[in-house]
Structure 1
Amino acid sequence: MRAAPLLRSTLAALSLVAVLPAQAGLFDDEEARRAILDLRSRIDQTGEAQRKKDAELAEQVNGMRGGLLELNATIEQLRAEIARLRGINEQLQRDVSDLQRRQKDVQQGIDDRLRKLEPQKVSVDGVEFLADPEETRQFNEALAQLRGGDFAGAGSAFSAFQRRYPSSGYGPSAQYWLGNALYGKRDYRDAINTFRALVNNSPDHPKAPEAMLAIANCQIELKDIKSARKTLDDLQKAYPKSEAAQAGRQRLAALK
């Protein structure tokens, strides 16, 4: 489309040249030459102007093309940066999730350890109280030794337990089973003292009646029948409805 104005100018010039012979009689040779030169000058000027316009237009197009290329490059850079940031964000989310999971595991571990150290409600011989897990463990271990027939080991374990936990809710029960361990060792006199301490210090404990019956048994083993009878009689008076009192009555009848 840019060549159209130049073509039209050229055709117009040719048309003028074509009619010149018809008008040759009107102009002399000098005027004809001037007219042709003037026409050529105008044609050249028109062509030059058109070339400048074409050059300017080409320059504009090239500039626009360069701008588009630069814009495309910028867009690609932005896309790459967005992809990189998206990857970083996804990694951060994974890191945060992993950190939260580890923090939860650590907190769970701490809670578990704290629960192992916190006092827990236990019930022994019909009595409920709070005891540390380690306290419960040591008592149960000592009781397991006694039930396994290791009277010496059980006696040492219950004695150590009483020293370590003098105010324990297990105290009266530990005292009773310590007496049984001493009885199993045939250390009857120390067993009597141990059972008697339980009765004197915790007369309302469920094991107190059985402790009195155990005292009488120790006295029988020592051939102290008189003392055994008195102990069994005291058992009937102090705990008349207990199973130990019923067993004591049978034992007392056998002694007469």
Structure 2
Amino acid sequence: MGLSRLSSRLKYSACVLALLAGPAAHAGLFDDEEARKAILDLRARIQTSDDAQRLRSEQLAKQLAELQSEQLGTLRRSLLELNTQNEGLRAELAKLRGLNEQLARDVAELQRKQTDLSQGLDERLRKMEPQKVVLDGKEVLVEPDEKRLYEAAVASVRSGDFVEAAGSLSAFQRRFPASAFADSVRFWLGNAYYGKRDYKDAVTVFRAFVNAAPEHPRAPEALLAMANCQLELKDAKTARRTLDELIKAYPKSEAAQAGKERLASLK
């Protein structure tokens, strides 16, 4: 449509020039053939320009498409790498969580064992600490082993196992010579010797007991038992002196009343 208009305009311009110039000028004008060639030439140049422009546009479109494709590929690779990294981080995080949970369990178990160990240690320390006991009306401090061995030995005396009792009480004296149980141990040891008919040793132990603890609540009993041992040894004279000592030293005791009866029987 543009080329047709241009051709018409060229033809119109050529006619006007021919009329104005007259016959002389008319001879110099382009004829129709030349005008047609000019138009074709112009059309060709325009077509060439359009083709070049279209080619350039196609090239630019191709380059843009290639660039977009390259960028898209780069973006896809980046996204893939990022996704792979994310998966790796998730796996590492899950592993760390698992380790953290295991560590928490280990810590809890360690704390439980430490608590048990501490409680066990406290219990053992309590067993090793001196204990308060009431002995013959007095409160004293004794070692746990000391208390246990003493009670076991006295239990042997009361059960009638005098041989075992004598051995245990003698061993106790050697192990705990300054024990708060020392006076009571002498009294029960004298009874153990008396029970197994070892009267001579019984007299010796009872005498040591009375001399060491004359204010002891069992001192009157010890003198009465000592007199009985002396009678068993056929030493009535010494037995009477022991009974006299009992009556004079502890007149209000039950042992003194029994001693009076025994002394009367000897006369």
**TM-score (norm. length: structure 1):** 0.81
2:143 pairs with 1:160: no
Structure 1 letter corresponding to 2:220: P
Name the residue aligned to 1:11: none
Structure 1 stretches of 5 or more lacking a match? 1-17
1:238 to 235, 239, 249: 249
2:48 to 33, 37, 49: 37
- Give the 3 Å change call, closer, same or farther, for CA 32–186 of structure 1 in structure 2: closer
The Cα shift of 1:106 comes to 2.7
The Cα shift of 1:96 comes to 1.5
Name the residue aligned to 1:193: 204
Name the residue aligned to 2:162: 151
The Cα shift of 1:69 comes to 2.3
Name the residue aligned to 1:13: none
The Cα shift of 1:254 comes to 4.5
Structure 1 letter corresponding to 2:146: E
1:206 to 203, 217, 231: 217
Name the residue aligned to 1:104: 115
Name the residue aligned to 1:113: 124
Name the residue aligned to 1:20: 3
1:123-178 residue CA offsets vs partner (Å, 9 max, x unmatched) = 33334322222222322332232223222232222222212221111111111111
Using the aligned pairs only, state the percent identity: 53
The Cα shift of 1:37 comes to 1.1
Q: In the comparison of the two structures, how many residue pairs are matched?
A: 239
Structure 2 stretches of 5 or more lacking a match? 11-37
Output the CA distance in 2 between the equivalents of 1:21 and 1:182.
Answer: 157
Structure 2 letter corresponding to 1:91: Q
Name the residue aligned to 2:90: 79
Bigger mean CA deviation after superposition, 211-220 or 78-87: 211-220
Structure 1 residue matching 2:179: 3-state secondary structure: coil
2:188 pairs with 1:177: yes
Name the residue aligned to 1:6: none
**TM-score (norm. length: structure 2):** 0.78
The Cα shift of 1:24 comes to 4.0
The Cα shift of 1:205 comes to 1.7
1:32-52 residue CA offsets vs partner (Å, 9 max, x unmatched) = 212211121112212222222
Output the CA distance in 1 between the equivalents of 2:93 and 2:256.
Answer: 89
Spell out the pairing of 1:84-99 with structure 2 (5 A cutoff).
84-99=95-110
